Amino acid sequence: MNEGNETMVKVTKINGAQLVINAELVELIEFTPDTIVTLTTGKKIILKDGVDDLIRRIVEYRRRVLERVTVVDKSKLTEA
């Protein structure tokens, strides 16, 4: 994904429409047997995508974020 979509995960709504959701806003994923995503805003989206596939995409997003984190060894820091 390009720089502007760093937090986005592509999904397909039950009606076939494609959209992207902000992975940081996913609060709950239900399987009822449809996949229902509840965002932290309270909005619910019914998806064609399976729960496992959606979880995999969110985990991939989180991995990309963590790969950018720089670990600092505090023992090598000096006081100014």
Alpha helices, H only, the chain: 51-67
Q: What predicted TM-score, i.e. pTM, was given to this entire model?
A: 0.72
Q: What's the whole-number mean pLDDT along residues 8-23?
A: 94
Residue 77 lies in a domain: no
Looking at the structure of the chain, the number of domains it has is 1
pLDDT given for residue 3 in this prediction? 47
Residue 31 lies in a domain: yes
Q: Is the pLDDT of residue 62 over 80?
A: yes
Q: What's the whole-number mean pLDDT along residues 34-62?
A: 94
Q: What's the whole-number mean pLDDT along residues 60-72?
A: 80
The span from the first CA to the last CA of the chain, in angstroms, equals 40
Residue 79 lies in a domain: no
